[in-house]
Structure 1
Amino acid sequence: MLWVDKYRPKTLDQAMVHQDIAQNLKKLVAEQDCPHLLFYGPSGSGKKTLIIALLRQIFGPSADKVKVENRTWKVDAGSRTIDIELTTLSSTNHIELNPSDAGFQDRYIVQEIIKEMAKNRPIDTKGKKGYKILVLNEVDKLSREAQHSLRRTMEKYSAYCRLILCCNSSSKVTEAIRSRCLNVRINAPTEEQIVKVLEFIGKKEGLQLPSGFPARIAEKSNRSLRRAILSFETCHVQQYPFTSNQAIPPMDWEEYVSEIASDIMKEQSPKRLYQVRQKLYELLLNCIPPEIILKRLLFELLKKLDAELKHEVCHWAAYYEHRMRLGQKAIFHLEAFVAKFMSIYKAFLIAAFG
């Protein structure tokens, strides 16, 4: 088992990071029925860990008895019937799903499927909580129509269904949904907190840690606890005993983006653009979020650019990121940014060197 799963806190009391939030959630459950909740914060900050611990706090060990299902629903979409396939994780008391996986059909997921799940009351409460919980991931990626439908579901079935929503950015969630939830911001852990977690894991694994080694991993992690633990385990696999100057390996996908940036800088042509498109496709197929690819690509390009070009390149990166959020096919917008950059850089080289 990976360390990131092996040492994941099982209860709210075990949360080493965000202890204050964990204790407040515990009080919330003890005092009253759980309200609708919206957890938001950067990737790797611990949102899902807190949600799973909260489910255990509410329902006890039964929350761990989870089954994974790939289900296909037939949904009436006006003049035709469409099949929507979705993966769900469910126990007797909760269901977890990612409605944005359905892409532009996400509104049907919310209108039909979540409504159907919300209607069904818990099977046997035995004096326990008389409601079930729906955990919806990546609600910030839902279309406006889906979010409006979700608001109506929250109101109609709130007597016996609670929603726990999870996302990276609450700014993309409509005000109507935010106002109906208790908003819980999960900040990225500090480097000091990450160091404490790494030292705890090292102690549990019986490892000797050179002075400053956990701090170097924390610094490279970009304040993502998940990433820090994965890097720590990678270092352990590559070389143990550790040395004080041991290299912290970058993520494979980051090296790949760095290669793409180098390719773009070396040659600006339709042929090179086609090659870059294949590499971008590969990153997307490996589930690297397109916003992260664009951000990292910009970071790598800025390291190689003259100061006078940086402002213009940043402007176009922001422009295509916005377009990407509005559109459906991320590859079009990533490729458009690369083409725009090639055009700007080529013009700069011609003006500078003739």
Structure 2
Amino acid sequence: MLWVDKYRPHTLDKVMVHVQEAQHLKNLIAQGDCPHLLFYGPSGAGKKTLIMALLREMYGIGAEKVKVENKPWKVEAGNRKLEIDLTTVSSNYHVEFSPSDAGFQDRYVVQEIIKEMAKSRPLDVSGTKGFKVLVLNEVDKLSREAQHSLRRTMEKYSSACRLILCCNSASKVIEAIRSRCLNIRISAPTKEEIVAVMQHVAKKENLQLPMGLAGRIALLSNRNLRAALLSFEACYVQQYPFSENQAVQATDWEQYVTEIANDIVTEQSPKRLFQVRGKLYELLSNCIPPEIILKRLLVELMRKLDSELKREVCHWAAYYEHRMQLGQKAIFHLEAFVAKFMSIYKRFLIATFG
């Protein structure tokens, strides 16, 4: 088992990061009821860890006995009947899934599947709350229609279920949903908090972790605790005992994006654009989020640019990131950004060197 999962806190008392938020959640449970909740914050901040610790606090160890199912759901969409495959993680007390996995059919998932799940109460309500919990991931990726359907579902079935919504950006969730939830912001952990967690893991594993190496891992993780723990374990596999100046290995996908950036800067042609498109497809097929790919690609390209081009490239990166949020096919917008960059960079080379 990876350290990031092995040492994940299972109760609110053992949470080392976001202690105040954990105590606030514990006080809510002690009052005898729990409102709908909206957890939002950057990736790797600890949202899912707090949610699972909250469920453990509410229902005991039974909330950790989960099963993963991938089954088709038959829903009615006007005069048509659709069959939507959805992967769920469920226990006797909660169901977790991502409605946005259904793509443009997400509103039918919200209308029918959540309605069906909300009708059933927990199988064993002895000593527990009398409602079921639905954990919805990536709520900020839902369409407007799906979010409005979610609002109606929250109101209609509030006596039978509670919703715990999880997302990276609360600004992409409609006000009608935010106002019906207790909003809990989970900020990215500080460098000192990440170092403290790594030292805790090192102590459990009987390892000697130099402070210099821990600080560099925390710095390169960009305040992402999950990424920091994965890098820490990769360093352990690579070399132990640790050394102060040991190299922190980047992840495979980050190295791949660096290669893409090198390809783009080396040659600007339709042939190279076609090759880059294939590499972007490979990243997307390995479940790397397109927004993360674009951000990382921009960082790598900025390292290779003259200062006079940086502002224009940043402008177009923001433009295509916004277009990506509005559209469905991320590859179109990633490829458009690469093509735009090639055009800008080639024009700059011709003007400079003739």
1:90-169 correspondence to structure 2 within 5 Å: 90-169=90-169
Q: Distance in 2 between matches of 1:205 and 1:128?
A: 35
Q: Which residue of 2 aligns with 1:209?
A: 209
Alignment deviations for residues 34-55 of structure 1 (CA, whole Å, 9 cap, x no partner): 0000000000000000000000
Local SS of the residue matching 2:241:
coil
Q: Which residue of 2 aligns with 1:43?
A: 43
Moved over 2 A (4+): 121-124
1:279-298 correspondence to structure 2 within 5 Å: 279-298=279-298
Structure 1 211/36 Cα, relative in aligned 2: closer, same or farther at 3 Å? Answer: closer
Local SS of the residue matching 2:325:
helix
The residue type paired with residue 84 of structure 2 is I
**Which structure 1 residue ranges, 5 or more long, are not aligned?**
none
Q: Distance in 1 between matches of 2:115 and 2:207?
A: 50
Deviation at 1:65, TM superposition (A): 1.3
Deviation at 1:293, TM superposition (A): 0.3
Deviation at 1:307, TM superposition (A): 1.1
Q: Distance in 1 between matches of 2:293 and 2:257?
A: 7
Q: Which residue of 2 aligns with 1:71?
A: 71
Local SS of the residue matching 1:68:
strand
Q: Which residue of 2 aligns with 1:6?
A: 6
- Residue 31 of structure 2 corresponds to residue 31 of structure 1: yes
Deviation at 1:351, TM superposition (A): 1.4
1:1-354 correspondence to structure 2 within 5 Å: 1-354=1-354
The residue type paired with residue 181 of structure 2 is C
Deviates more, 1:70-79 or 1:238-247: 70-79
Q: Distance in 2 between matches of 1:241 and 1:65?
A: 37
Q: Distance in 2 between matches of 1:121 and 1:352?
A: 69
Deviates more, 1:72-81 or 1:314-323: 72-81
Q: Distance in 2 between matches of 1:234 and 1:260?
A: 23
Q: Distance in 2 between matches of 1:131 and 1:92?
A: 11
TM-score by length of 1: 0.99
The residue type paired with residue 5 of structure 1 is D
Question: Cα RMSD (Å) of the superposition?
Answer: 0.9
Deviation at 1:57, TM superposition (A): 0.4
Deviation at 1:313, TM superposition (A): 0.7
The percentage of aligned residue pairs carrying the same residue is 75
Deviation at 1:159, TM superposition (A): 0.9
**Which structure 2 residue ranges, 5 or more long, are not aligned?**
none
Q: Distance in 2 between matches of 1:109 and 1:305?
A: 45
Alignment deviations for residues 195-243 of structure 1 (CA, whole Å, 9 cap, x no partner): 1111111111111122422111111111011011100100000100111
Alignment deviations for residues 259-311 of structure 1 (CA, whole Å, 9 cap, x no partner): 11111111110000000000000110111100000001111111111111111
Q: Distance in 2 between matches of 1:228 and 1:320?
A: 29
The residue type paired with residue 235 of structure 2 is C
Q: Distance in 2 between matches of 1:209 and 1:89?
A: 35
Deviation at 1:349, TM superposition (A): 1.2
Q: Distance in 2 between matches of 1:337 and 1:27?
A: 48
Deviation at 1:127, TM superposition (A): 4.6
Q: Distance in 1 between matches of 2:154 and 2:79?
A: 27
Deviation at 1:145, TM superposition (A): 0.4
Local SS of the residue matching 1:95:
strand
Deviation at 1:122, TM superposition (A): 2.6
Aligned length in residues: 354
Local SS of the residue matching 2:217:
helix
Q: Distance in 1 between matches of 2:72 and 2:209?
A: 49
Q: Distance in 1 between matches of 2:62 and 2:200?
A: 28
The residue type paired with residue 347 of structure 2 is A
Alignment deviations for residues 296-351 of structure 1 (CA, whole Å, 9 cap, x no partner): 11111111111111111111101100000000000000000000111111111111
Deviates more, 1:250-259 or 1:209-218: 209-218
The residue type paired with residue 306 of structure 2 is D
Local SS of the residue matching 2:303:
helix
